[in-house]
Chains A and B, each alone.
Chain A
Amino acid sequence: MANKNSLLPWLLPPAVAALAAAAVFIGPVSNPDAQILLAIRLPRVLAGLIAGAALAGAGALMQGVMRNPLADPYILGTSSGAALGAVCALVMGAGYGSPAFYAAAALGGFAATAAAYLLARGPGRTPTVNLLLSGVVVSSFCGAAILLFFSLRRSESFSALMFMMGSITETTPAVLATAAALFAAGAAGALLMSRRIDIMSMGPEKAQSLGVNTERLKLSAIIAGSLMCAAAVGLSGTVGFAGLIVPHAARLIAGPSQRRMTAASLFIGAGFLVVMDSLARSLAAPRELPVGALTAMTGAPFFLWLLNRRGNHV
């Protein structure tokens, strides 16, 4: 159990910077010229950093505000909605990776999250259980719609498969900048909300008596999480597991305080995704593996280990 003064969290930023710097030199092309390094690899590493941080930050936020250790950034149906938006864009003729494609994916994600929230809203309150359930409903619905598209328009829909498996494809500087802005806004919000999220862990009664408006906080958290998800989806499609496991690792290193845990998640998520992406483009060179498959394969054993550890400890 890390205490407040532990040095370990402070090692994270330099470690991640080192990983990112190394990752620029890792890839299928063995003697890359400056053009390849600067124009292709560097933006891809940056995209990995931002997407990884965004996913982990959104995951930390959702786990904190829903008080549920199994929450991940897509818990309100965001990933299914984004995938559905992407498939729709492709079927309607947008090119893969075009601005229309990303806009549709982002809008799909927002729409799904908004639908889940509105479905869960009761008179005056939005119970967390309802949010979780409505997220499942929205995910299932979007998933079914995607399958329908796949069966009717197979060739256009196929490209969306890569998007849904999660892969960091090279994008334009405009997309990178937009994603960075969305991420920054969401992450700033998440960090500023941390103190009040800690208070929510004592239950709604005590939280209210400490002046925390739990309903407004939930909505703010969902909005901040959606911004970060939109950033991640634009850069890497829908990568699974990163947003789920990184906050747990962050909690081990930085302790339970939401602010420290979120900050650590941002760094660990960035480093994790950059490493996974380096593997994705190097393991089977010159082929490229979907990074979402790699995050799932590393994530599952880590989660098992974590469960074991918790079982012995409480």
Chain B
Amino acid sequence: MISLFAALLSAAGACAQPAQRIVSLLPSDTEILFALQAQKVVAVSDFCDYPCNAAKLPKAGDYYNPNIEKIVALKPDMVFTGPWKNNAAQRLRNAGIKVVEIPESRSIADIYSAITAIGGETGRSRQAQELVKGLSAKIGALAAKNAALKRKPRVYVELDSPHWTAGGGSYLNDMIEKAGGANIFSDLPESYARVAWETVAARNPEIIISLSAAKTDFVSLPGAAGIAAVKNKRIVSDLDRNLLTRPSPRVYQALRALSKALHGK
């Protein structure tokens, strides 16, 4: 009964209301919830590691393998997750829990939509608006600066060894472009694909960004000597994979880091 009242209030966008119990099963949603200071997140997924407070919360499985029993036991008011094709959403709804399925962000603009949606659900619409405005301003400025560049360096990004890269349909591709780079595999429609090394060598990237946990030793690969990135020693392997691949409010920091790696500033 109380949760129904709270839900009605949040729909009306009222400012002061009792704390809702929120469970978040996606790391990106968790970061947004904490950035909006939504009250109050009671459990997160196994992979939610930012911010520190989130990492300390109880873990309730993840988007692929939600721990339904644990979630229900926590008596949350709503659960944030991605689009679910299994019956997990139905089971939670049967238990009287609201399930908000937010589509995966494939671009920076999608992040703004996600922030707005989450803000609306948790009664933090005003904070969401501010956050989006701030982010889009900063990112817009950075993108404009990079768009004015005479040429964009060719970038090969390796997400997993061996040779799994981000295609044109991926969030990372959007990031690279906004940061003033040209992803050599932006012609691939999917977001994640495995490519042949000879194609990488033929497309001659000027910068290689290695985000794989198991690193590839590019310098020792055959044909590497002919690649600009190897010749000029522009192999970047110290960027944080989560920061770059997770569509979260930290997108501006991620772009700054990427921009620095690509252009040195």
- Chain A residues at the B interface, C-beta cutoff of 8 Å: 27-29, 32, 35-36, 39-41, 43-44, 90, 94-98, 155-156, 158-159, 162, 167, 169-173, 281, 285-289
Contact = CB atoms under 8 A, between A and B. Distances in A.
The 4 tightest CB contacts between A and B, nearest first, are A96-B161, A155-B213, A39-B223, A40-B223
B264 interface: no
Contact of B222 (A32, A40, A159, A167): A40
Contacts of A155: 160, 212-214, 241
B55 interface: no
Interface in B193-217: 193-199, 201-202, 212-217
Given A39-B223, A95-B217, A158-B160, A286 B188 contact: yes
B163 interface: yes
Interface centre among B199, B214, B222, B223 (most CB of A within 10 A): B214
B212 A286 contact: no
Contacts of B217: 95, 97-98
A66 B213 CA distance: 41
Interface in B207-235: 212-217, 220-223, 225-226
A281 B196 contact: yes
A159 B223 contact: no
Given A172-B220, A286-B188, A288-B163, A36 B196 contact: no
B180 to A, nearest CB: 24
A287 to B, nearest CB: 5
Nearest to A101: B214
B185 interface: yes
Contacts of B201: 35-36, 40
B248 to A, nearest CB: 18
B134 interface: no
Contact of A159 (B199, B214, B225, B226): B214
Nearest to A162: B162
B159 to A, nearest CB: 10
A36 B202 contact: yes
B194 A288 contact: yes
A94 to B, nearest CB: 8
A95 B161 contact: yes
B216 A162 contact: no
A27 B223 CA distance: 15
A287 B216 contact: no
B212 A36 contact: no
A35 B226 contact: yes
A167 to B, nearest CB: 7
B215 A96 contact: yes
B214 A40 contact: no
Interface string B162-192: 1100000000000000000000010010000
A281 B198 contact: yes
Contacts of A97: 161-162, 216-217, 220-221
Given A96-B162, A158-B160, A170-B221, A36 B215 contact: no
A159 B198 contact: no
B163 to A, nearest CB: 7
A159 B217 CA distance: 14
16 contacts: A32-B202, A35-B226, A97-B217, A155-B160, A155-B213, A158-B213, A159-B160, A159-B162, A159-B212, A159-B213, A169-B163, A170-B197, A281-B196, A281-B198, A287-B193, A287-B196
